[in-house]
Amino acid sequence: MPVNPSRLIERNGWALYTYAQFAEKIGRSTAEIMERFSREAFVFYSVREKTFVICYNADFPPPVVRWTLMHEIAHIVLGHISEEVPSLNRVRSEERSVFETEAQGFARRVLCPSIVLHDCKAISPAAIMYLCGISHEAAEYRSKYMQELERRDRWRLHPLEVAVEKQFRIFIFRFLLTSHYEEIALEFPA
């Protein structure tokens, strides 16, 4: 943590361009790209390159870019984009809104897995921002949700949650160990 979407894109062999790089590649301006597609990012399947292509606006702060890239990865992983449906522009608007909701949920679960936040005792927006590398606004939403989950206190009921916890086991251990040492160090005068 924080999860690195760029590494996931690289591992899958997908293409990644900033808007400036993509604008140069296609002979258009970044303004034209933002007007045609989105201010933040977009994804499509390139028949020529035989892979998915994710383009993003690098002018946003890194936490926003991290979230945006994971959102675009979600469209690929969830099957919203494919060789048969190479872009969301070819999807009916009512389906597109469902796809956007699903992509946001995917990004949230990958970048801020609730069981990891629970185990690391990262419930406040500041702790979530620090641990997950997301924006303050996103961390506030996740914090409110985490408070509700903590109130319910029902953990490890789903096999996927158990699998995520196992995958992050070493990270959680190291994080808690480091946090504990910092707390002890504060008790000693400088």
Domain ranges of the chain: 5-107, 113-186
- Looking at the chain, the whole-number percentage of residues with pLDDT higher than 90 is 80
**64 vs 186: which has the higher pLDDT:** 64
Predicted local distance difference test score (pLDDT) of residue 177: 86
Q: pLDDT, tens digit, for every residue of 76-130?
A: 999 999 888 888 776 667 778 899 999 999 999 999 999 999 999 999 999 999 9
Closest CA to 74 of 90, 88, 63, 89: 88
CB burial of residue 69 (10 Å; 0-12, 13-18, 19+)? buried
Give yes or no for residue 184 having a pLDDT over 60.
no
Rounded to two decimals, the pTM is 0.87
Average model confidence (pLDDT) across the chain = 90
- The predicted pLDDT at position 43 comes to 95
Question: What was the pLDDT predicted at 90?
Answer: 60
Res 92: pLDDT:
67
pLDDT at 11 over 90: yes
Residue 23 has pLDDT above 60, yes or no: yes
Read off the pLDDT of residues 46-61 as tens digits, 9 standing for 90 and up: 999 999 999 999 999 9
The mean pLDDT value for 61-69 works out to 96
Q: What is the pLDDT confidence band of residue 189, given thresholds at 50, 70 and 90? A: low
Q: d(Cα 156, Cα 130) in Å, to the nearest integer?
A: 24
pLDDT at 129 (0 to 100): 93
Mean pLDDT of 62-83: 95
**pLDDT at site 185:** 44
As its CATH architecture, domain 5-107 has Orthogonal Bundle (1.10)
Neighbouring CB atoms inside 10 A of 158's CB total: 11
- Poorest-confidence range of 49-53, 121-125, 166-170, 174-178? 174-178
Which tokens hold the place of 24?
């140069």
End-to-end, the C-alpha distance of the chain in Å comes to 30
